[in-house]
Structure 1
Amino acid sequence: MNHHGNRPPGKQATLLAQHPARLVKDAFEQSQTGMVITDAEGRIMMVNDAFCRIAGSDRAETTGWPIEDFFVSLHPFSGLPGSGDDTHNTALSWQQEVLCRQSDGESVPVLMLVDTLQDDQHVPRGRLYSFVRFTTPGGELLDERHWVHIDPMTGLPNWLLLRDRLDHALAQAERADTTLALLFIDIDRFKAVNDAVGHIEGDRILGDIARRLQQVVRSKDTLARLGSDQFVVLLEKDGTAEAAQVVAERLQEALEPPFNSGDRYLLLTSSIGVALYPGDAEDLETLVHAARGAVFTARKKGPGRLAFVDHRLTSRLKEKYRLESQLSEAIHLPDRHFALHYQPEFDRNSLRCTGMEGTLRWKHPERWQQPPSHYLDAIARLGLGVRLNRWMIRAIIADHRQWSDDASPLAQLPISLYLCEAHLAQDTFDSRPLDHFLRHLDTPSFEWLTLKVPAQGLGSDLDRATHMLKRLEQLGIRLAVEELGSTPVDLAWLSRLPFHKATVDAQLTRAHRDGRRLVEASCRMLNSLGIEPVIVGIDDEKVAADMEATSARLVQGDLYCPALSAKALTAWLDEHQPPEE
């Protein structure tokens, strides 16, 4: 018979070391996984060394404290169900991504696994928490940026996911020869806010910041958190400097309302640096570094500023958006800010005025000297072309009615007007097509009016444009093509449309070596289609000399007469119009 007392000492020690309770204790203590046991109220009863290292605390600083004091999560902490609660619908185990704050203030991302501990009656009496950090095969801890794809505090993509998307976007942009924009966002003076409200409250505010930024970022863009108070936006589908400027302004506006922190109201701003691919950088690391450098440039100007890597671009875009802001204000009050001038058109043989073109003049003290075409792109971007076009049509009708009442010879001259492309696409702010708008104007006839269709407007939706042009023709309006030769046009299709005139820009002679031949070829082609060419842009003697041999009969330009106000045009016509033969 064997008795325990008869066992050799070595054998007995081995058995004690293999006792289940001892094995469990050793596993708990020696595990590299941070482990915590809490009571039913969620207060810490036991921790191991691995958890102390992750949390940056010793055992004395952890025991007795609530477990939720040692991590931050987007998800609310779930307390243990009480004895009277329904436990059937309560998860007994789960896992989630959290941040554990270390003693140096840095947040370490870990995977937290939670297991509920039950007594013999299946009543929860505590929980076992396991905190896992992944390591390399050599045992080295992975940098937190390379751990998971989602930042647990904000729910945004982290550096790893952003880097993957940026790698893919750069490869796509290189193949398609397109641009990308990277916006680096730094929350101004956030460290002071963190010190004032505490790290836990600061983390909550960062979550609020992330949600506000996410609400204004376009669905096709990527918003990521790099860590601390730094965010990045990748503009992949529309990575132009202009798009970056618009998105940056929306991001800064999203932070303008104050943030609530208890009984405090915190005002936060952001400095944003923008780097463009391929202009500023052609690889991932350099692009991020360039955008980060632009943040420092922005901060030098003060909080809440924006800067591009190319400082000249910052100035140009600032001026561009200043112009658009002024234009938008002016177009909503056109009678105050704009005036209509008229530039005569001439028969080059008799020098008689054969018609005139209505042109826009902005009464802005710095802007009025620019030609109308200088603003067309900006007006189109603002979506205000239809509004301004309608105001011009009303103003021309009022001037023509006045000339008719005064029996002025100007009433006998046809008037042409540039038609914005949005009218052809029937892309109007009030869904009212141009012909419907014209029918409701107090005008007995439109036979004196010519609408000049932009050549680029004839290259998109041809069927829709054709339908609109024929409806305008039914109103008695004559149609012309503007700037033929600057945009490819289907000649077979052009021959089927009801155009009676087309303008050809004489400045082609300066833009192309064979410009004069190009102008003449355009004039001959138009004549063969029964469309009369008008050579425009003849502003000096040299250009006039280059155009002397062309077959066009009609000409226009500042050399013959600049655009004049309605009153000045009346006086000019009385003095310069030769008598009819």
Structure 2
Amino acid sequence: MFPTDPNSIYETAQMTKGNRLTGKHVPVLAQHPARLVQRAFEQSQIGMAITDAEGRIVLVNDAFCHIAGSDRSETTGWPIEHFYVSLRTPWQLPMTADTPRNLAHSWQQEVLCRRADGESVPVLMTVDTLLDEHKKPRHLVHTFVLLTTPSGEVLKDRHWIHLDPMTGLPNWLLLRDRLNHALAQAERSDSTLALLFIDIDRFKAVNDAVGHIEGDRMLGELAQRLQRVVRSKDTLARLGSDQFVVLLEKEGAAEAAQAVAERLHEALEPPFTSGDRYLLMTASIGIALYPTDAQDDETLLTAARSAMYIARKKGPGRVAFVDHRLTTRLKEKHRLESLLSEAIHMPDQHFALQYRPELDRHDNLRCTGLEAILRWKQPKRWQHSPAHYLEMIARQGLGVRLNRWMIQKVIADHRQWLTDDSPLSQLPISIHLCESHLSHDTFDRRPLDHFLRHQDMDSFEWLTLKVPAQGLGNDLDTATHMLKRLEQLGIRLAVEDFGSSPIDLNWLSRLPLHKASIDVRPIETHHGLRQIEASCRMLNALDIEPVLIGIHDENLADRLKTVSAHLVQGNHYCPPLAPEALQTWLDGRQPPSA
């Protein structure tokens, strides 16, 4: 674009008439237009990027690199769209040689510039087209002006925090503000309002087919179509992904909401174009009404979402109103998820550890180990034990956090028993391990063995980690790698709920396992008893010791007398005990000293 060696253009300057008389040469190289343009480009505080007609970067200045937080080497060749997010659908696409001449050759947009560190800054982007000698677009010049104060703060008169950067629509923050205001108005005037929850059917498949950049453009076009059929006094907001919400104020009766839903469907009827493709899109729409279905913002949104699920089950492009039974279940589910998240982020306030003894029924019920059991500190707030919510905790991605807290508490108890020279310090302790640890799916990408190495323990030979059987059935290669690393730390490994999920016996024989728990509570028939015995014999053949768990009454204990396993657990023998009660229980079982 610019001369790499401007000195090669003019080595000496022209002389003026007066200078010829004196014989002096006056260099004007610094004033040569090419050099001035180059210096202006390089030294400008406005970010500048030059792309080819397809929008791929060929040259940038330092100011652009500063705004984007990238080096020049990390920008050349990349599409310019990689470095910003439009606050509305781009109406001008990259030009090609076939672009009609009547299109505008310069335009402006407010965008969010995406930095390499993940931050986004508001920018006014201007795009100018550079034409070749045939008046065809050859290059594009993009300039980026930061919409910030000199100190780098976002201008206070901007409303970026309330806008969805992809579509320019209100986001959840602004929608919630308007919804609360509308609810207050409706309560004072004794009027109604409606909330329409819109989910674009199978948009992920469309996005995968056309690519994410084109998918984002189509999503912006879709938002524009929806916006055109919504009244100016109503609010269309984007919650994220392919989900939108329409707030209908004042005229929020069921009939009016139904009519708006029909107009929204009609807006999506014309095919969307992507290159030479014609794509059809539909939406599932759920409708919730105030005050019939809910009286506050979150409950109303939950009700509208539940109605959307009903619509989606009917097929693409359907509308449904609220089913109060489903809404109640969803509301309870969201309430539980919120409570669980709070509890796991403040575990010391909500959880306590108890220990269930493992006993050898062939050796006078000698205590051979302990299992850490999670309990609520305020059980009256919960209908079930923490174990009942483990699946929900795993879906929220909170299992690793809870697991780590349990491990740290068990380590603290073990240290205290060592300090007190308690017999409890000689007993192995087992802990339930969440499946995410095996798949390395941790929130901070920190593997379990790395976490354990930082616990300042000389030895982990007293610790047993119980691996869920389901975790061994999903990705055995990844699980095996982690289990062997844990074994190198001296940790013993066990399988939990053996028989509840299919396990490849060939793989099982290769894993470093020394115990497997078998839940005997489902046993109801003689056939079930034979299955338990068969599992025990198979485990023994693999040098894996079976442990019968869930023996909570004498009748079940009697029925299991013929089973070959000798290690047992259950309330029939001893319920889970707090550390202090456990010490008392163990002292009472010790023979008196001579």
Q: Normalising TM by the smaller chain, what interval?
A: 0.5 to 0.7
Give the distance between the partners of 2:314 and 2:441, measured in 1 at CA. Answer: 40
Deviation at 1:331, TM superposition (A): 0.6
SS at structure 2 position matched to 1:441: coil
2:465 aligned residue (451, 460, 463):
451
| CA drift at 1:496 | 0.6
Q: Is the 8 A contact 1:352 1:577 kept in 2?
A: no
Decide whether the 8 Å contact of 1:508 with 1:516 is kept in 2.
no
1:344 matched residue in structure 2: 357
1:362–1:483 distance in 2 versus 1, CA, 3 Å: same
Q: Which residue does the alignment assign to 1:525? A: 538
Query: Which residue among 385, 388, 396 is the counterpart of 2:402?
Result: 388
The amino acid of 1:490's aligned partner reads D
Distance 2:228 2:403 in 1: 56
Q: Deviations over 1:120-159 (max 9, x none)?
A: xxxxxxxxxxxxxxxxxxxxxxxxxxxxxxxxxx9xxxxx
Q: Which residue of 1 aligns with 2:562?
A: 549
Q: Hey, what does 2:238 align to over in structure 1?
A: 213
Secondary structure at the counterpart of residue 443 of structure 1:
coil
RMSD: 4.3
Matches within 5 A, 1:315-334: 315-334=328-347
Residues 303 and 327 of structure 2 are in contact (CA less than 8 Å); yes or no, is this contact kept in structure 1? no
In 2, Cα distance between equivalents of 1:579 and 1:530:
36
Q: Does 1:575 align with 2:579?
A: no
* 2:549 aligns with one of 517, 527, 536: 536
Q: Deviations over 1:28-87 (max 9, x none)?
A: xxxxxxxxxxxxxxxxxxxxxxxxxxxxxxxxxxxxxxxxxxxxxx9999xxxxxxxxx9
Identity of aligned residues (%): 57
1:558 maps to a residue whose letter is: N
Relative to structure 1, the CA distance from residue 422 to residue 165 in structure 2 (aligned partners, 3 Å threshold; closer, same or farther) is closer
- Counterpart position of 1:40: none
Q: Deviation of residue 228 (structure 1)? A: 2.5
Q: Distance in 2 between matches of 1:536 and 1:335?
A: 28
SS of residue in 2 equivalent to 1:354? strand
Cα drift, residue 372 of structure 1:
3.6
Q: Which string of whole-angstrom CA distances, capped at 9 and with x for unpartnered residues, describes residues 403-462 of structure 1?
A: 011010000000000000000001111111000000011111100000000000001111
Q: Is the 8 A contact 1:361 1:368 kept in 2?
A: no
How big is the shift at 1:505?
Answer: 0.3
Match of 1:344, as an amino acid?
P
Distance 2:258 2:285 in 1: 19
What pairs up with 1:82-97 in 2 under 5 angstroms?
Answer: 89=102
Call closer, same or farther: CA 1:283–1:492 in 2, change over 3 Å. same
Paired positions, count: 346
Q: Which amino acid aligns with 1:453?
A: V
Query: Contact between 2:550 and 2:570, CA under 8 Å: does it hold in 1?
Result: yes
- Structure 1 counterpart of 2:141: none
User: Contact (CA 8 Å) 2:495, 2:513: kept in 1 or not?
Assistant: yes
392, 417, 439: which one aligns with 2:453: 439
Cα contact 2:498–2:517 (8 A) shared by 1: yes
Greater Cα shift, 369-378 or 470-479: 369-378
Residue identity opposite 1:360 in structure 2: L
The code of the aligned residue for 1:213 comes to R
In the TM superposition, 1:434-513 aligns within 5 A as 434-510=448-524
Following superposition, the deviation at residue 580 of structure 1 comes to: 11
Quickly say closer, same or farther: Cα 1:446–1:281, change in 2 above 3 A: closer
CA distances 1:88-147 after superposition (whole Å, capped 9, x unpaired) = 7369xxxxxxxxxxxxxxxxxxxxxxxxxxxxxxxxxxxxxxxxxxxxxxxxxxxxxxxx
Could you say what secondary structure the match of 1:572 adopts? helix
Residue 256 of structure 1 deviates from its aligned partner by 7.5
**Structure 2 counterpart SS, 1:509:** coil
Among residues 340, 363, 384, which one is paired with 2:377 in the alignment? 363
| 1:66-105 correspondence runs (5 A) | 89=102
Contact 2:285/2:311 (<8 A) preserved: no
| Letter of the structure 2 residue corresponding to residue 530 of structure 1 | D
Alignment CA distance shift 1:384-1:461 (3 Å)? same
Structure 1 residue 336: deviation in Å? 1.2
One of 393, 407, 418 as aligned partner of 2:421: 407
Aligned-pair distance for 1:218?
A: 5.5
Letter in 1 for 2:462: W
Aligned CA distance change for structure 1 residues 164 and 523 (closer, same or farther; 3 Å): closer
Q: Whose radius of gyration is greater, 1 or 2?
A: 1
Opposite residue 576 of structure 1, the aligned amino acid is R
Distance 2:476 2:304 in 1: 42
Deviation at 1:382, TM superposition (A): 1.1
Q: How does 1:71-220 map to 2 (within 5 A)?
A: 89=102, 203-206=231-234, 209=236, 212-213=237-238, 215-217=240-242
Offset of 1:213 from its aligned partner?
Answer: 2.9
Question: Match for residue 579 of structure 2?
Answer: 566
Alignment partners' CA distance in 2, 1:542 and 1:548: 10
Q: What is the rounded CA distance, in whole Å, between the counterparts of 1:244 and 1:326 in structure 2?
A: 29
TM-score, normalization by structure 1 = 0.53
Cα gap change, 1:276 to 1:488, in 2 (>3 Å): farther
How much does 1:481 deviate?
0.3
User: In the alignment, what sits opposite 1:45?
Assistant: none
Partners of 1:352 and 1:578 within 8 A in 2:
no
TM-score in terms of structure 2 length: 0.52
Q: Determine the C-alpha separation between the residues in 2 that align with 1:355 and 1:76.
A: 65
Could you list the per-position Cα deviations for residues 471-505 of structure 1 after superposition, in whole angstroms to 9, with x for gaps in the alignment?
Answer: 00000000000000111101110011110000000
Contact preservation (8 Å) 2:261, 2:285: no
* SS class of match (2:238): helix
Q: Deviations over 1:279-330 (max 9, x none)?
A: 9997559x946x23x2xxxxxxxxxxxxxx2x33332332222121111101
The separation in 2 between residues aligned to 1:163 and 1:497, in whole angstroms, is 45
Matching residue's letter, 1:501 = K
5+ residue gaps, structure 1, are: 1-73, 78-86, 92-153, 155-161, 170-198, 220-224, 235-242, 258-267, 295-308
Cα–Cα, structure 1 residues 472 and 488, in superposed 2: closer, same or farther, change >3 Å?
same
8 Å contact from structure 1 (residues 340, 359) kept in 2: yes
State whether residues 199 and 243 of structure 2, in contact with CA within 8 Å, keep that contact through their aligned partners in structure 1.
no
CA contact (8 A) 1:244 1:274 kept: no
Per the TM alignment, residue 276 of structure 1 is displaced from its structure 2 partner at its CA by: 8.2
CA 464–89 in structure 1, closer or farther in 2 if over 3 Å, else same: same
Aligned pair in 2 of structure 1 residues 405, 322: CA closer, same or farther (>3 Å)?
A: same
**Counterpart position of 2:38:** none
Classify 1:427/1:163 alpha carbon distance in 2 versus 1 (closer, same or farther; 3 Å). closer
